[in-house]
């Protein structure tokens, strides 16, 4: 089976690489504009599925069995979606919003199993609660100087210098990184592909 990761995220690549020695990467194209009235959960699920659909369309016709994996991770607080920052000022503003508060990290994952003319697609989501330490502007700027925040939803990297910003989490750590392993395994079981996680 050909395994395809539809993501440009090095974090997702590393986690999937811990499970499979061979897989390919396709960078999917999707319009990530938030729709009016869309909840954070609906948004993440829709974008994850759009990414998968774009890859599936690019693979037609399917000549061998394939597994396509896409995901979308967002940070949300008080119903607001915090995406990737436009610049340093935007990043500081985001972290000021999160300072001293608990927010949600939602990852929606889509897994598509393509086998001849049969395609099965499942999209499911996981949410983790993350509580930030109270930080002043100088502490925020110092933290941002230590990471590449430009490609991070919410302007922070859970896996880098977390002790500076995070007080506690409730839920999956791999979900915060962007590839919830337990959710991935449960989707494979639901698809009838438990042998892939043995």
- Res 151: pLDDT: 87
- Res 110: pLDDT: 98
- Res 159: pLDDT: 87
Question: What's the pLDDT tens digit per position in 9-67?
Answer: 899 999 999 999 999 999 998 999 999 999 999 999 999 999 999 999 998 888 889 99
Yes or no: say if 131 and 101 are a contact pair by the CB < 8 Å rule.
yes
Please state, in angstroms and rounded to a whole number, the distance separating the CA atoms of residues 174 and 172: 5
Q: Which CATH class is domain 2-197?
A: alpha beta
Mean pLDDT of the chain: 94
Q: Say which of 72, 89, 118, 148 is annotated catalytic.
A: 72
Residue 122 reports pLDDT greater than 90: yes
- Catalytic site residue 72? yes
Yes or no: say if 47 and 70 are a contact pair by the CB < 8 Å rule.
no
């Amino acid at each position: 089976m050909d395994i395809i990761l539809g993501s440009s995220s090095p974090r997702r690549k590393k986690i999937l690489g811990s499970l499979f020695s061979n897989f390919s990467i396709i960078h999917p194209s999707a319009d990530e504009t938030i729709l009016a009235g869309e909840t954070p959960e609906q948004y993440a699920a829709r974008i994850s599925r759009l990414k998968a659909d774009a890859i599936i369309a690019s693979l037609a016709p399917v000549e061998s069995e394939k597994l396509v994996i896409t995901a979308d991770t967002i940070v949300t607080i008080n119903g607001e979606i915090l995406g990737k920052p436009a610049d340093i000022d935007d990043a500081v503003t985001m972290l000021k919003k999160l300072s001293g508060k608990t927010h949600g990290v939602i990852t929606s994952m889509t897994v598509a199993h393509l086998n001849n003319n049969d395609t099965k697609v499942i999209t499911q989501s996981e949410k983790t609660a993350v509580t930030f330490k109270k930080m002043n502007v100088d502490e925020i700027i110092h933290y941002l100087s230590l990471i590449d925040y430009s490609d991070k939803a919410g302007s922070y990297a859970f896996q880098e210098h977390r002790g500076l910003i995070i007080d506690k989490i409730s839920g999956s750590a791999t979900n915060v990184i962007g590839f919830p392993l337990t959710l991935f395994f449960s989707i494979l079981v639901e698809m009838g592909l438990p042998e892939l996680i043995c």
